[in-house]
Amino acid sequence: MPQMVIVSPALRDANNGNWRTARRWRQHLAGAGRVRITQGWPDALAAGDAAMIALHARRSASAVAAWSAAHPQQGLVVVLTGTDLYRDIVADTTAQRSLDLAQALVVLQECAPQALPAAVRGKARVIFQSTTARQPLAKSSRHLRAVMVGHLRDEKSPQTLFAAARRLAGRADILIDHIGEALDPTLGQQALATMAAVPNYRWLGILPHEAVRRRIQRAHLLIHTSRMEGGAHVIMEAVTSGTPVLASAVDGNVGMLGTAYAGYFPWDDAESLAVLLRRCRESAATPGESLLQQLAAQCRQRAVLFAPQRERAELHRLIDDLLGGERRRTNRMPGTP
């Protein structure tokens, strides 16, 4: 069985999207070979590696360059996971070089290929990430509970949530929970100030992943305000839990939820987000199909994209394509051409 290495900028202690992707892909690929995760390459086991999957074009650039020098035009996948897709490859030369060196590029949502330079777009394939489905739970009719999940940093645009919460300060029937660590201390102070001023907004800080999933499962809505996304884990976790999403209309979110989705608001537009939250609360109390029901139905249609068996099959196809030529040469009968 071939030995493969996944290079991830973040390891277990970070517990972020890159780490969860690396861990899940190691599990999916266990039947295709021996797989390990490392933060840098080469390492002590590098001599046995037949393929590399490098997460993030810029942050894994040194490992990508080292692999290419050791194995020119062989066995290298670069996965564009977020800021590298919508920021780094525009101006960062190391990220651009990673695209050129790779034999295959993986993106995590269906709008992403259009963000790649035309010269490398032909290398790209979309592999949606996956998660286990959760049983949808009955929701309270006494109020609407929305949850936002994401560390407090500029890319996640938490200021939009703070401003929307202030617009809804008088609505005791609309409750907003906010989960995430204050990676930017200024944003942490803004979250505390919002909580002091708005009785129906709570910043809960960082929580264990299982606790986060349960809160998503119990919420009426997930809010996702990001300015850039490669393909957010939290969106698929909401969709596969029967929890609809209100999301900023940026490519990374549209590529997850589809162009026809009815739950978008313009990025950085707190008033539009507040209007959607009011509409969801008020339409749920009226006869007939509500906006919440419409969003839930649209999310159910997208949920099949995030099934673990689909992601596993796509990853095995990727590795088979990457190593297929080498496998055929290795397995050829002696004396055959």
Q: Compute CA 76 distance to the chain's CA centroid, rounded to the nearest angstrom.
A: 22
Is a pLDDT exceeding 50 seen at residue 197?
yes
One-letter amino acid for residue 313 of the chain: A
Q: How far apart are CA 21 and CA 6, in angstroms?
A: 10
C-alpha dihedral (302, 305, 306, 312), degrees to nearest 10: 170
Look at residue 139 and tell me if it is in a domain: no
Does a structural domain hold residue 336?
no
pTM higher than 0.75 for the full model? yes
pLDDT of residue 141: 87
For 327, half-sphere exposure in the C-beta direction (CA atoms, 13 angstrom radius) is 13
Q: Are residues 299 and 320 in the same domain?
A: no
Residue 315 is predicted with a pLDDT of: 96
How many domains, the chain?
A: 2
Q: Would 64 be classed as within a structural domain?
A: yes
Domain-embedded: residue 136: no
Q: Are residues 165 and 205 in the same domain?
A: yes
Task: Give the list of residues 6+ apart from residue 277 with CB closer than 8 angstroms, or none.
Answer: 144, 146, 164, 168, 174, 221, 246
Same domain, 286 and 313: no
Give dist(CA 300, CA 297) in Å, integer.
Answer: 5
Task: Confirm if 150 and 216 have CB atoms less than 8 A apart.
Answer: no
Nearest to 262 by CA among 293, 229, 217: 293
- Based on the domain organization, do 123 and 217 belong to the same domain? no
pLDDT of residue 285: 67
In this structure, what are the phi and psi dihedrals at residue 186, rounded to the nearest 5 degrees? Answer: -60, -40
Determine the pLDDT at residue 29: 95
**What pLDDT digit, counting tens, does each position of 34-76 carry?**
999 999 999 999 999 999 999 999 999 999 999 999 999 999 9
Q: What is the pLDDT of residue 13?
A: 67
* Percentage of the chain exceeding pLDDT 90: 82
Q: Is residue 14 predicted with pLDDT exceeding 90?
A: no
Q: Which pLDDT score, from 0 to 100, does residue 337 have?
A: 38
153 and 255 part of one domain: yes
Q: Quick check: bond before 42 cis, omega within 30?
A: yes
Q: How many angstroms separate the CA atoms of 91 and 134, rounded?
A: 40
Mark whether 320 and 235 lie in a shared domain: no
Residue 114: CATH number of its domain = 3.40.50.2000
The pLDDT score that the predictor gives to residue 334 is 37
Q: What is the mean pLDDT of residues 27-39?
A: 93
Cβ-based burial of 15 (10 A; exposed 0-12, middle 13-18, buried ≥19)? middle
Look up tokens 């790209």; give the residue.
124
Residue 215 belongs to domain spanning: 144-305
For residues 191 and 74, give the distance between their C-alpha atoms in angstroms, rounded to a whole number. Answer: 48
Please report whether residue 11 resides in a domain: yes
171 and 124 co-located in one domain: no
Identify the residue with better confidence: 60 or 12.
60
Per residue in 208-267, pLDDT (tens digit) is 989 999 999 999 999 999 999 888 899 999 999 999 999 999 999 999 999 999 999 999
Regarding whether 154 and 176 lie in a shared domain, the answer is: yes
Strands 201-205 and 264-265: unpaired
Same domain, 109 and 52: yes
Let me know whether 188 and 122 are in one domain: no
At 117, the pLDDT band (50, 70, 90 cuts) reads very high
> Within a domain: residue 252?
yes
Residue 128 pLDDT > 50:
yes
Q: Region of 125 please: left (phi>0), alpha (psi -120 to 50) or beta.
A: beta
For the chain, the average pLDDT equals 92
301-313 pLDDT per residue, tens: 999 999 999 999 9
Query: In this structure, is residue 135 part of a structural domain?
Result: no
Cβ distance 205 to 178 under 8 Å? Answer: no
- What is the DSSP code (8-state) at residue 333? P
202 and 255 share one domain: yes
Residues 220 and 299 in one domain: yes
Residue 137 counted as domain residue: no
